[in-house]
Amino acid sequence: MATSISSPEPRAFPLVSRVVCPHCWERFPPEDSLWIAEHAELIGDPRLGAVHTRFLPSLFTPAGNAIDARGETCHDLACPRCHLGLTRGMLELEPLFLSILGSPGSGKSYFLASATWKLRECLPHDFAVSFQDADPGANELLNSWEQNLFLNPQPDRLYNPQVLIDKTVLEGGIYDQVDYGQHAVQYARPYLFSLRTTPGHLRANKSDTLARMLCLYDNAGEHFQPGTDTAANPVTRHLAISRALLFLFDPTQDRRFRDAAARGRPPAPGIDSRLNRQETILNEAAARIRRHAGLAHNARHDRPLIVVLSKFDAWSHLLDHDLDETPWKRSPTSGVCGLDCDRIEATSRELKKLLQAHCPETVAAAEALAGEITYIPVSSLGPRATQIDLESGKPGIRPADIQPFWASVPVLYALQRVLPGLIPRISRRA
């Protein structure tokens, strides 16, 4: 008797009403998504060149996958405008965009790698929230940074900082080029993570309403300088649609702040001599947001701005009190942690006073940009990771000694502000 193999039953997934492409930010209904051909001979795309063809299908398998012109079953999707690939999660989850900006050399990439590594640890363990790579291919560069810092096969070796995390460049790497016929456009490549509640979360039964596709953007600092935002290079236009902005401010790049931190103390190892007018980054970001969001010239952005003060280990003595290792506490009844926002906001007020004393123009630029501002200190590497190589006399980083401090707090606080049900806040009784 012949044995038949049944086709898998198609599964129904709830789809968002409008998809937002994380590359070009086009909005379109899910059914307009293109599919990426899989047959080896179907190469060539008018937007992307020598890659597999993008097409709008007319034939599907019983499981709902498109069939290309040579009969191959397809599995990957693409945006109908820019033709860049889309993870299927973008069709199922509402996006949550977060933008990281800062001057060249401020340490954005080190901060991002430390933040995502710590989020992988604390979100599932402390907050009952799953934090997973939504597209391992899109996150490949970030994952390699995490590997170099926290899972290095030679952790006791002293590395040149550029070896562990290469400087974010202006082209290639984290950017994709799309050809629109008469002109080519370069888009920023986001890092994509899925956020979902897990059993034990206070609102686990409402996980569908809290699940999000987190899209993080890390641009080269030069892209935030005046004159770099053009029709052919719109790599920072995610600022206008981001739910929160994280501005990385490096106090060691300001001479006045650096002098105050160094007074009576030996210089911290690894602090280079570069100085930057960092408030110009905020002023340029404000101009771009107003232009692309259609705001009035002097209007404030209605999204939270988090000023992340980096390299905390080099200037922590300027604060009047010590900070807790983790500003969250576990509830004895639910077993889930709540973020100590009162503690974070009290620290923010103290940091604002510190900045007003040494860098008042930075505070003024932040207040001109946004109505809600929070100042949070971080150390991406910790106080002992950076040392001077005795042979070369240059600074190096020893992975075994990396101990980030508050690296995950800016993103946790941003999530709590824009999606309160996902990250609970500690409630204090009178």
For residue 375, name the pLDDT band (cuts at 50, 70, 90): very high
What is the reported pLDDT for 384?
Answer: 85
Contact between residue 395 and residue 389 where contact means Cβ atoms under 8 Å apart: yes
Fill in the DSSP letter of residue 44: E
What is the reported pLDDT for 381?
Answer: 94
From CA 238, how far away is CA 289, in angstroms rounded?
A: 9
Task: Convert the pLDDT of each residue in 2-26 to its tens digit.
Answer: 444 444 555 556 889 999 999 999 9
Alpha carbon of residue 342 to chain centroid = 24
pLDDT at position 271 over 60: yes
What does the longest C-alpha to C-alpha distance in the chain come to? 90
CATH 3.40.50.300 domain extents, the chain: 93-418
For residue 111, name the pLDDT band (cuts at 50, 70, 90): very high
From CA 398, how far away is CA 154, in angstroms rounded?
A: 9
pLDDT at position 170 over 60: no
Instruction: Spell out a b/e string for 348-369, using b for 16 or more CB atoms within 10 Å of the CB, else e.
Output: beebbebbeebbebbbebbeeb
Fill in the DSSP letter of residue 261: H
Strand partners, 298: none
Give me the sign of the Cα torsion angle 220, 221, 222, 226. Answer: positive
- What's the whole-number average pLDDT of the chain? 88
Give the DSSP letter string of 105-117: TS-HHHHHHHHHH
For residue 168, name the pLDDT band (cuts at 50, 70, 90): low
% of the chain residues with pLDDT over 90: 61
CA distances from 122 to 129, 356, 385 (A): 9, 33, 22
Superfamily per CATH, domain 93-418? P-loop containing nucleotide triphosphate hydrolases (3.40.50.300)
What is the reported pLDDT for 430?
Answer: 35
From CA 238, how far away is CA 259, in angstroms rounded?
A: 35
Task: Convert the pLDDT of each residue in 300-352 to its tens digit.
Answer: 888 999 999 999 999 999 998 888 889 999 988 888 999 999 999 999 999 99
